[in-house]
Structure 1
């Protein structure tokens, strides 16, 4: 039986690798070129995706959301200097998620999520994983738009294309 949250996270990992692969093909300055978009630079967007992925990983592994958010704010505000550096941090975090997935027996179990922006609710682990994937998809779309605004083509990283690709390292 397919573990759909884990499969969607594999897609998320693949899509991050795909967009970063495209960015690696471009001049390194593309990361820091200012653009009038959702984020001032592509590096800002990548840092945001990573910070949110990390925050939710901390929540999934038992850290309160407020504490996880505070721990990841410096990451959100920092910028790396190369697509390779972003690829490295995303790969390490993906490995951590993989370890977490392998340790789970019931992704439909709920935790009490105390979201400082929205309040308290019972939330399934699978919902959190799907949110991580959805959030990344949304902001990879921003990055694709930013690349076009900077005069570069993006690359397709849709879920339907993922179906036809080589599988990423098993989670």
Structure 2
């Protein structure tokens, strides 16, 4: 099944990362009054949540997912933007592998959470959640950039569609 929504999410994240590379390097670690204390922390949170939901989509237990998140924290202790970008790229590849292995994104899956209980939903709906979460935080990043005197980068879905249409027209 077409996973264009995932392509959009990965495209938008990379667009933000590319934009940040063109700004002063220290900006990603500058303390701000926002949802997260730095832009890096916002991006890292997005990475963690994408990691959590991939594991949930694969049917991993809550306990195993938490173990994995704790391991991620240890592995990312140096807070490197280059490493975070690579980790996001690799995670995107893992999402592709998982989705490519599904017959249908509208298949039902079950997620068990110790606090929220059992949720029966589709893979697509959970993927939609991942994308919505990313969109929310990309908006946070844009707001912080404006506070710091820099422009954000447009990551609305329609921009992705236009870029994709223009790319396909050039082929």
TM-score (norm 1): 0.87
- Aligned Cα root-mean-square deviation (Å): 2.0
1:115 corresponds, among 104, 113, 116, to 113
Residues 114 and 120, structure 1, Cα contact 8 Å, conserved in 2: yes
Structure 1 runs, 4 residues or longer, greater than 6 Å off: none
Structure 1 pair 18–128 and aligned structure 2 pair: CA distance change class (3 A): same
Residues 66 and 114, structure 1, Cα contact 8 Å, conserved in 2: no
Structure 1 pair 131–73 and aligned structure 2 pair: CA distance change class (3 A): farther
Residues 59 and 111, structure 2, Cα contact 8 Å, conserved in 1: no
1:76 Cα deviation (Å)? 6.1
Q: Deviations over 1:27-80 (max 9, x none)?
A: 110111000011000011001000000111111122123431442245368562
1:23 corresponds, among 20, 25, 33, to 20
Within 5 A, what are the aligned runs for 1:37-116?
A: 37-73=34-70, 75=72, 78=76, 80-82=79-81, 84-116=82-114
Max Rg structure: 2
Q: Which has the higher helix share?
A: 2
Aligned to 2:8: 11
Distance, in Å, in 1 between the alignment partners of 2:144 and 2:67 is 28
Unaligned runs of 5+ in 1: none
Structure 1 pair 17–102 and aligned structure 2 pair: CA distance change class (3 A): same
TM-score (norm 2): 0.87
* Count of equivalent residues: 164
Residues 112 and 118, structure 2, Cα contact 8 Å, conserved in 1: yes
